[in-house]
């Protein structure tokens, strides 16, 4: 019992199986840098309000810096029986500086300590995600820039609908990842709130200054209610939701890459570095990276579900259940960071088959809307134009031809309003070029989108 920091009232030792079951040091040691930063800020704040002398605070800070050094150079001895990162560090501090180390935990509980550490950690990761997302948006923007003039069938219901530029298609994903970055920034704002000073749950009797701690740690604010401060895990749930949304967007892009790499489409050429072969079928080049990313999306959603379920029945304030909040975040964070980074690299390396994309437009009557709009522009009500065009499509389809392959006489059977200028309207390039309305696929609109993304990247 005497080996435990909390062992004063205990007569018997903790069962070995219980020690094993309750410990978290093997994973929460990932919070060591934040734990030490937080403790240093706490010591400074206590000196500032006279709870420690300046000399005591200086000795504690020097000791903590030595602990940090030991952890970073790998000489630190992590002890399972010390339960978690917080007590491992404090125990070592006391070994180094003696009983003064015991003053560090004045007016503090592991409840506000762990909340602080985790908030600092999650905030840092959210900011890293933003950097990675910006990198991905930049890759998409660069690819889009190269493919302003490439056209492919835009689909609805996975059926050919209207031609769009590849640039426009890729920029749709850039929009998603910019929103994700914005979500991460918003979430970081709520995460960067310091709970230190809440102590176990009720606040503390010491004349503490929580704002000084928040200020030293670069956090935007302090808790308003000590019970909320130690039991709020919204920040990590929001972060994992943000990561889930990132993965959902990646997964949709992966799905397109997988479909486009099927030879029936043949729109993308998988770079060798991002594909794998089959052990039996020599012809295979499989989009495993995209498939795994689609698969790992489920893993991140799993973490979100774990956290939502973890929190749902917990009464105020701290409950030990909350220790289970770390691993789902760590796992989601690893997956999100690796996935965003790999997608950016894969996007850079992806080759598009411009001819195949262009040829696919001709097979799907992607200019049928153009014929209807053409007739409408000559005065025919759009509903009637839609019907007339449908008849022309049926006629051409039965003969295995496209609308643009029909002669002017064949076309005029459907309406006397049709003249030679119809061929200009039926050209796929024209269909793309004419869609210059806000956010449309026209080249002017695409240029404006690219400019806006560049401005966003500059501001990031």
Mask for 249-268, x = binds ligand ARG (CB under 6 A): --------------------
From the list 44, 68, 108, 110, which residue makes contact with ligand ARG (rule: CB under 6 A)? Answer: 110
By C-beta, is 240 or 375 nearer to ligand ARG?
240
Instruction: Give the Cα separation of 351 and 408 in Å (integer).
Output: 38
**Residues 335 and 293: beta-carbon distance below 8 Å:** no
Q: Which two tokens mark 444?
A: 């002017």
By C-beta, is 36 or 293 nearer to ligand ARG?
36
194 is catalytic: no
By C-beta, is 29 or 448 nearer to ligand ARG?
29
By C-beta, is 28 or 370 nearer to ligand ARG?
28
Residue 164 phi/psi, 5° resolution?
A: -135, 165
What is the closest distance, in whole angstroms, from the C-beta atom of residue 117 to ligand ARG in the complex? 9
The closest alpha carbon to 343, from 297, 378, 379, 387, belongs to 297
Other beta carbons less than 10 A from residue 240's beta carbon = 28
Beta bridge partners of 351: 269
What is the closest distance, in whole angstroms, from the C-beta atom of residue 457 to ligand ARG in the complex? 37
Of residues 32, 75, 139, 157, which has the active-site annotation? 157
Would you count residue 306 as binding ligand ARG (CB under 6 A)? no
What is the closest distance, in whole angstroms, from the C-beta atom of residue 23 to ligand ARG in the complex? 8
Instruction: Give the Cα separation of 281 and 333 in Å (integer).
Output: 35
Total of residues contacting ligand ARG (CB under 6 A): 9
Would you count residue 84 as binding ligand ARG (CB under 6 A)? yes
Give one DSSP letter per residue of 317-336, joined into a string.
Answer: S--GGGGGGHHHHHHHHHHH
| Residue range at the interface with ligand ARG (CB under 6 A); choices 109-117, 188-196, 299-307, 422-430 | 109-117
Q: What is the DSSP letter of 276?
A: B
Beta bridge partners of 155: 160
Strand intervals (E) in 26-165: 151-156, 159-165
From the list 88, 111, 141, 244, which residue makes contact with ligand ARG (rule: CB under 6 A)? Answer: 111
What is the closest distance, in whole angstroms, from the C-beta atom of residue 334 to ligand ARG in the complex? 19
377 is catalytic: no
Instruction: Give the Cα separation of 110 and 24 in Å (integer).
Output: 13
| Residue range at the interface with ligand ARG (CB under 6 A); choices 110-118, 126-134, 175-183, 381-389 | 110-118
By C-beta, is 104 or 322 nearer to ligand ARG?
322
Instruction: Give the Cα separation of 243 and 232 in Å (integer).
Output: 19
Would you count residue 88 as binding ligand ARG (CB under 6 A)? no
Mask for 8-37, x = binds ligand ARG (CB under 6 A): ----------------x---x---------
**Residues 49 and 109: beta-carbon distance below 8 Å:** no
By C-beta, is 182 or 327 nearer to ligand ARG?
327
What is the closest distance, in whole angstroms, from the C-beta atom of residue 110 to ligand ARG in the complex? 4
**Gyration radius from the chain CA atoms:** 31
Q: What is the DSSP letter of 225?
A: -
Mask for 307-326, x = binds ligand ARG (CB under 6 A): -------------x-xx---
By C-beta, is 1 or 359 nearer to ligand ARG?
1
Of residues 26, 278, 377, 447, which has the active-site annotation? 278
The alpha helices in 192-276, defined as continuous H runs, are 210-216, 226-231, 234-261
Give the three-class secondary structure for 407: coil
**Residues 300 and 343: beta-carbon distance below 8 Å:** no
By C-beta, is 110 or 130 nearer to ligand ARG?
110
By C-beta, is 13 or 412 nearer to ligand ARG?
13
Residues 113-142 that bind ligand ARG (CB under 6 A): 114
**Residues 336 and 247: beta-carbon distance below 8 Å:** yes
| Residue range at the interface with ligand ARG (CB under 6 A); choices 62-70, 108-116, 287-295, 354-362 | 108-116
Beta bridge partners of 268: 352
Q: Which two tokens mark 450?
A: 């690219």
CA 234, 239, 242, 243 torsion-angle sign: negative
End-to-end CA distance of the chain: 53
Beta bridge partners of 154: 162
User: By the criterion CB under 6 A, which residues form the site for ligand ARG?
Assistant: 24, 28, 84, 110-111, 114, 320, 322-323
The residues that are catalytic are 157, 278
């Amino acid at each position: 019992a005497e080996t435990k920091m909390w062992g004063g009232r205990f007569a018997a030792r903790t069962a070995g199986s219980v020690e094993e079951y309750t410990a978290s040091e093997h994973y929460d040691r990932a919070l060591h840098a934040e734990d030490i930063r937080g403790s240093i800020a706490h010591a400074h704040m206590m000196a500032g309000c006279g709870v420690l002398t300046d000399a005591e605070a200086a000795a504690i800070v020097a000791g903590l810096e030595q602990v940090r050094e030991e952890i970073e150079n790998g000489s630190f001895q992590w002890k399972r029986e010390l339960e978690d990162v917080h007590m491992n560090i404090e125990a070592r501090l006391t070994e180094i500086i003696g009983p003064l180390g015991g003053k560090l935990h004045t007016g503090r509980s592991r409840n506000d300590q762990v909340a602080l550490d985790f908030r600092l950690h999650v905030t840092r990761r959210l900011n890293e995600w933003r950097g990675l997302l910006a990198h991905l948006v930049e890759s998409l923007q660069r690819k889009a820039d190269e493919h302003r003039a490439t056209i492919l069938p835009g689909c609805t219901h996975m059926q050919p609908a209207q031609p769009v530029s590849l640039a426009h298609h890729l920029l749709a994903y850039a929009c998603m990842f910019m929103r994700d970055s914005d979500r991460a920034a918003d979430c970081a704002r709520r995460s960067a709130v310091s709970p230190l000073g809440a102590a176990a749950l009720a606040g503390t009797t010491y004349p503490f200054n929580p704002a000084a701690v928040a200020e030293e740690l670069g956090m935007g604010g302090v808790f308003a209610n000590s019970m909320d401060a130690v039991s709020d895990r919204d920040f990590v749930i929001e972060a994992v939701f943000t990561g889930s949304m990132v993965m959902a967007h990646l997964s949709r892009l992966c799905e397109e890459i997988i479909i486009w790499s099927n030879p029936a489409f043949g729109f993308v050429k998988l770079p060798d570095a991002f594909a794998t072969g089959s052990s039996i079928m020599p012809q295979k080049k499989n989009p495993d990276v995209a498939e795994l990313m689609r698969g790992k999306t489920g893993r991140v959603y799993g973490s979100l579900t774990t956290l939502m379920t973890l929190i749902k029945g917990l009464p105020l304030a701290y409950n030990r259940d909350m220790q289970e909040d770390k691993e789902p975040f760590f796992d989601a964070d690893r997956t999100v960071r690796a996935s965003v980074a790999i997608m950016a690299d894969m996007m850079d390396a992806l080759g598009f088959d411009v001819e195949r994309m262009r040829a696919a437009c001709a097979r799907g009557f992607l200019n049928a809307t153009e014929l209807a709009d053409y007739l409408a522009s000559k005065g025919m009500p759009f509903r009637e134009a839609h019907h007339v065009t449908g008849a022309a499509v049926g006629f051409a389809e039965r003969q295995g031809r496209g609308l643009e392959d029909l002669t002017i006489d064949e076309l005029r059977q459907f309406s006397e309003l049709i003249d030679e200028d119809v061929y200009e309207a039926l050209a796929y390039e024209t269909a793309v070029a004419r869609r210059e309305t806000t956010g449309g696929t026209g080249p002017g609109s695409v240029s404006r989108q690219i400019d806006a993304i560049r401005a966003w990247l500059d501001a990031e």
